[in-house]
Amino acid sequence: MKHLVVIGGGHAGIEAAHIAARMGMATTLLTMNLDQIGQMSCNPSIGGVGKGHMVRELDALGGAMGRLIDLTGIHFRILNESRGVAVRGPRAQADKVKYRIAARRLLEHQAHLKLRQGTAAALLWESGTRNLRGVELLDGSVLPCDAVVITSGTFLNGRILIGARRLEAGRAGEPASTHLAEQLRALGLRHRRLKTGTSPRLARASIDFTRLQVQPGDNPPRPFSFFSPGIPQPQVPCHIVHTTAQTETIVRENLPQSSLYGGHIEGVGPRYCPSIEDKFVKFPDKGRHQIFVEPESLETEEIYLAGLSTSMPPDVQLRMVRSLPGFEAAEILRPGYAIEYDSFDPLQLRRDLSVEGLEGVWFAGQINGTTGYEEAAGQGLLAGINAVRWLREQEPIVLGRDQAYLGVMVDDLVTKGTDEPYRMLTARAEHRLGLACDLADARLLAVAREVGALEPEELARVEAKVLRREALRGQCEAAWVTQTSPFGGIATAAGLRLEAGLSLSDLFRRQHIGPAEADACLALLDDWGREQPGWDLATERDLLLFDLRYTPYRDREAKLLEGHRAWDQVRIPSDFRIEQLHGISREVLEKLSLHRPETLGQASRIPGVTPAAVTLLHLHLHRYRSI
């Protein structure tokens, strides 16, 4: 019987092991410490703009993260809610203690999945890097397997930095993984050092919350998962504070003591999650910076300062923290730190996240140069799915850029690569009008059927929702609005003059019709208020208005997509000698040789590869196939 091993118990590892087991594959999750499965080393939160979209997508395919945050979340908010359905994103603060417990419990009760504590030392093949036969552990034992997903996070040659101090560690209190890192380097994989960081944790009782701006959560909170029955945890507020002129003075006077500015760090840090040192140096015109004061758990008294990531020495960190209003007597329980680790160039990955030249090996998470729990989870899910499908001799699941943010992320990584920790942003998606997070379950329904990880009743729930939406749109097309109809009275009250009759769909396309008017109209339709699992009236009304008002733009986008899809269907054989092509510039040939695109569509998205070069490449492929 085929067997899959997942190395690493972080968010990528959880998803890879969980989805593989849900697909019926015998799976073992190997982690250094079973008690740290699902640990939130940085901010204990899930989601946000772009990131929340990906959590909804992996949930639609059978992933775990959405369900776990619904079980353990203590503060839920929809971000960008006023900016439209396409770009709003759910975010939740997790109880990190309960999240970790829930993640382990989920895996322990998952059929076909075993947990194993140990440290991976080496991958073992029968011949060179072909026919994988197992994973050797530091204790000398071997876990037999036919495929492996490596989700090592920050543990490969990990090093914590606080001021001038360097500690070999994968994260605070846990050892680094050096043996596997050295094997992967020795195999000739292109690697680089990346950096991330975390903020100090404070004692709640030492903070004067009366001087902080309260940030309430949504009431009621809305679940992440399409399949969660509700939110069981008590909800608590977060708070906001801003840095002061004194904070900036302390940071600037002590920059040489920072690991980052003291010359102790080799790795490149995340552009979109800078340290407090970077904020003051790179944004000198900004007078103050916003800090989010967030609880870590209902079980502890620790408070996290999101936005105050730092690698300053502990005494400087304390002075920085105490310069904030309401923090004059603050006590640091755990100082913030920077961490460097090995990652490997994602251009060495195929579109299914398998590693070129290493048979039976998939990479997911920070090892691929990404940052964030959600990015890691999304890669873990896809790597787990495709490892199982490879073992079963099935075609991989490759999501398009127009299908999912998960598809955008993977295509960015394997086509463009990354020189810094990659973070998902809605701006990365060219087709975001069609990628609203509330539609992820319907949008990915066909893929979910093919993956086969959802329970039959879960699939049936999504299918019923899709059918009801179609019926609702049919009712709106059929319902006729005149001055004398009940709909007409609502339209007149909204300031519309109805010179002639029109359909309810056309009425909803008018900007005069806001949520209240739409609700009043929909209440007149049969079946609108009928309860159904997963059917939320406010959400469905917003989705209906979004669909009707943006259909012309989406139709225009769909026409543009037809050409892109055609290029993505033209495969470039693995034995095609790109470097020997004639008529294409040396610069483009070098880029094509480095990136090794699998399709013409991928080739067209490589920075610096011109449309003319893609056309010539297509001509060479046609000649190659006719030989």
- Is residue 179 marked as binding? no
- Is residue 281 marked as binding? yes
Residue 577 identity: R
Taking only Cα atoms into account, the Rg of the chain, rounded to an integer number of angstroms, comes to 26
- Is residue 14 marked as binding? no
- Is residue 46 marked as binding? no
* Token couple for 529: 């208020």
Candidates 191, 240, 182; CA nearest to 214 is 240
The answer to which of 53-62, 82-91, 610-619 has the lowest mean pLDDT is: 610-619
- What is 383-445 written as a DSSP string? HHHHHHHHHTT-------TTT-HHHHHHHIIIII--SS-B---GGG-TTGGG--GGGHHHHTH
What's the CA gap between 78 and 437, in Å, rounded?
11
Query: By percentage, how much of the chain surpasses pLDDT 90?
Result: 76
Query: By percentage, how much of the chain surpasses pLDDT 70?
Result: 99
Report residue 37's pLDDT band, with 50, 70 and 90 as the boundaries.
Answer: very high
* Token couple for 609: 């590869």
| Tokens 């989805």, located at residue | 19
- Is residue 269 marked as binding? yes
Please give the average per-residue pLDDT across 585-596, as a whole number. Answer: 81
- Is residue 9 marked as binding? yes
For residue range 475-504, list pLDDT tens digits in order: 999 999 998 899 999 999 988 888 888 999
Q: Beta strand pairing status for 361-363 and 147-150?
A: parallel
The answer to which of 151-155, 256-260, 369-373 has the lowest mean pLDDT is: 256-260
- Is residue 380 marked as binding? no
For 163-200, where are the E strands, in sequence order?
Answer: 165-168, 191-198
The sign of the CA dihedral 356, 358, 359, 360 is negative
What's the CA gap between 262 and 165, in Å, rounded?
11
- Is residue 272 marked as binding? yes
- Is residue 280 marked as binding? yes
- Is residue 63 marked as binding? no
Please answer whether residues 422 and 370 qualify as being in contact, where contact means their C-beta atoms are separated by less than 8 angstroms: yes
| Residue of 419 and 387 predicted with greater confidence | 387
For residue range 107-138, list pLDDT tens digits in order: 999 999 999 999 999 999 999 999 999 999 99
Can you give the pLDDT at residue 293?
A: 98
- Is residue 266 marked as binding? no
- Is residue 90 marked as binding? no
- Is residue 8 marked as binding? yes
- Is residue 360 marked as binding? no
Report residue 627's pLDDT band, with 50, 70 and 90 as the boundaries.
Answer: low
- Tell me which H or E stretch contains 177: none
- Is residue 273 marked as binding? yes
Report residue 384's pLDDT band, with 50, 70 and 90 as the boundaries.
Answer: very high
Please answer whether residues 174 and 31 qualify as being in contact, where contact means their C-beta atoms are separated by less than 8 angstroms: no
Please give the average per-residue pLDDT across 328-336, as a whole number. Answer: 97
For residue range 211-237, list pLDDT tens digits in order: 999 999 999 999 999 999 999 999 999
What's the CA gap between 261 and 277, in Å, rounded?
8
Q: Does pLDDT of 83 surpass 90?
A: no
Can you give the pLDDT at residue 299?
A: 96
| Residue of 143 and 586 predicted with greater confidence | 143
Please give the average per-residue pLDDT across 356-381, as a whole number. Answer: 97
- Is residue 458 marked as binding? no
The answer to which of 65-69, 400-404, 614-618 has the lowest mean pLDDT is: 614-618
| Tokens 């940071």, located at residue | 251
14: left (phi over 0), alpha (psi -120 to 50) or beta: alpha
The CA-atom distances, in angstroms, between 341 and each of 21, 145, 170 are: 29, 26, 8
- Is residue 283 marked as binding? yes
- Is residue 10 marked as binding? yes
* Token couple for 197: 């960081």
Domains of the chain: 201-339 (2.40.30.260), 456-553 (1.10.10.1800), 569-626 (1.10.150.570)
- Is residue 455 marked as binding? no
What's the CA gap between 624 and 626, in Å, rounded?
6
The CA-atom distances, in angstroms, between 432 and each of 49, 170, 541 are: 12, 36, 20
The CA-atom distances, in angstroms, between 285 and each of 119, 249, 280, 282 are: 47, 14, 9, 9
Please answer whether residues 17 and 382 qualify as being in contact, where contact means their C-beta atoms are separated by less than 8 angstroms: no
Can you give the pLDDT at residue 560?
A: 67
Please answer whether residues 260 and 275 qualify as being in contact, where contact means their C-beta atoms are separated by less than 8 angstroms: yes
Please give the average per-residue pLDDT across 572-598, as a whole number. Answer: 82
Q: Does pLDDT of 561 surpass 70?
A: no
- Is residue 277 marked as binding? yes
For residue range 280-300, list pLDDT tens digits in order: 998 988 889 999 999 999 999
Question: Phi and psi for 335 in degrees, rounded to 5?
Answer: -70, 155
The answer to which of 277-281, 286-290, 321-325, 584-588 has the lowest mean pLDDT is: 584-588
- Is residue 7 marked as binding? no
Q: Does pLDDT of 81 surpass 90?
A: no
